[in-house]
Amino acid sequence: MKIFPNPVLTRDQAAAALDTAVALVRQNLPLFTEHCQNHSSVNDIYPPCENNQWTCGFWPGEIWLAYERTGDEAFKTAALKLADSFSYRIEQKIDVDHHDMGFLYSPSCVAAWKLAGSETGRRAALMAADQLCTRFQEKGSFFQAWGALGAPDNYRFIIDCLLNMPLLYWAGETIGDPRYAELARRHVATCLAHSIRPDGSTYHTFFMDPVTGEPVRGATCQGYKDDSCWARGQAWGVYGVALSYTYTRRPEYLDAFRRVLSYYLERLPQDMVPYWDMIFTDGDEEPRDSSSASIAACGLLEAAKFVSPEESEAYRTLAAQMLFSIADKYAVQEGPAGIGLVRHGTYSKKSPYNTCTPEGVDECVSWGDYFYMEALTRFLTDWQLYW
């Protein structure tokens, strides 16, 4: 495993960084209690939005993390109000025809249930898990990410979906039904078999044959090109398999974790915050994706719970180095209302070879803010998962 000479975040620095983040969340609370926060900022300031994006769960997750840090009831009140909005969204089926039910409902509603005993949160999260199950494709054994179910041009899964699996594990454990975990097991098996290349890099998306269920081809949407490695997708791989290991203890998930982590580390630039695609590195005139580093740090801190003391120490050191870099050079210290927490994230950058809509390039991104706070909280406490 690659070793870095970089500085390591101390506990005092982590506490100060988390308190700065909490102060920014407090400042932004009036803007984003009746509304949600847009997926990405515009010149580092988030516009408000309706509760209709795949990213809307991250802001309530930040509020719950701020509540855990401070115990301040103002955070709990605002987060519970947002849980009502998420309940309405799943009841009315507003923009839920996609797989991102975990991204939406784990940090908002599972957190509301775990931290405040919210029955509304519990019920909404269970409905969201059922909604995700409707997207399972028997032919090929996977959750279809986007588009009309069964449509040949969208008959595919994406690496990001690993973060939606914990909602299924949680739902199954909560109501005592093994079918949720079984669908997750089948999806993760398909994903690990086809998304991870022999060198440990990952495809962003992977098409299956709707008639035979056989694998067809890997392709990118938000990465630079089909055979490069999208930096956030690789981080979803790192954290996603770690979380599936937590719930299932399947050794092949830990093995996959080590392979995707190894590639990730090899392709990092000197400051350990990747460019938006790992085809780029030091010296390239390309934007970073700071959110990828925070997601990877969470994966390292999760996996560190389950490995030998030596490996665990190595993972915690890597996470502390990544977090030092983000806290030192990327994190916002102060700014006007609506400002994000971490600069230099990239949502979707257009390339000559990819199919994404360009959005949020070199901006704050809501999941980047959330996972930065989660990673700092993990670093400082024995954190109970929202996932």
> How many Å apart are CA 276 and CA 251, to the nearest integer?
30
Q: Which two tokens stand for residue 93?
A: 């089926």
Nearest approach, Cβ of 347 to ligand GLY (angstroms)?
6
- Alpha-carbon radius of gyration of the chain: 19
Nearest approach, Cβ of 116 to ligand GLY (angstroms)?
27
The answer to whether the beta carbons of residues 172 and 178 sit under 8 Å apart is: yes
Q: Helix (H, G, I), strand (E, B), or coil: what is residue 36? A: strand
- Active-site residue set: 100, 160
> How many Å apart are CA 82 and CA 154, to the nearest integer?
31
> How many Å apart are CA 387 and CA 381, to the nearest integer?
16
Q: Which residues bind to ligand GLY, rule: CB under 6 A? A: 160, 222, 232, 347
**Residue keyed to tokens 């392979």:** 259
> How many Å apart are CA 162 and CA 87, to the nearest integer?
23
Nearest approach, Cβ of 277 to ligand GLY (angstroms)?
13
Nearest approach, Cβ of 72 to ligand GLY (angstroms)?
30
Q: Which residues, 6 or more positions from 198, have their beta carbon under 8 angstroms from its beta carbon?
A: none
Nearest residue (CB) to ligand GLY, 232 versus 343: 232
Q: Helix (H, G, I), strand (E, B), or coil: what is residue 123? A: helix
Would residue 283 be called left, alpha or beta, if left means φ above 0 and alpha means ψ between -120 and 50 degrees?
left
Nearest approach, Cβ of 375 to ligand GLY (angstroms)?
16
Q: Which two tokens stand for residue 358?
A: 């360009």
Nearest residue (CB) to ligand GLY, 169 versus 347: 347
Residue number of the CB atom closest to ligand GLY:
160
Q: Which residues, 6 or more positions from 313, have their beta carbon under 8 angstroms from its beta carbon?
A: none
Nearest approach, Cβ of 232 to ligand GLY (angstroms)?
5
Nearest residue (CB) to ligand GLY, 160 versus 374: 160
Instruction: Tell me the DSSP string of 220-285.
Output: -SSSSSTTS-BHHHHHHHHHHHHHHHHHH--HHHHHHHHHHHHHHHHT--TTS--BSBTT--TT--
Q: Which residues, 6 or more positions from 12, have their beta carbon under 8 angstroms from its beta carbon?
A: none
Nearest approach, Cβ of 34 to ligand GLY (angstroms)?
25
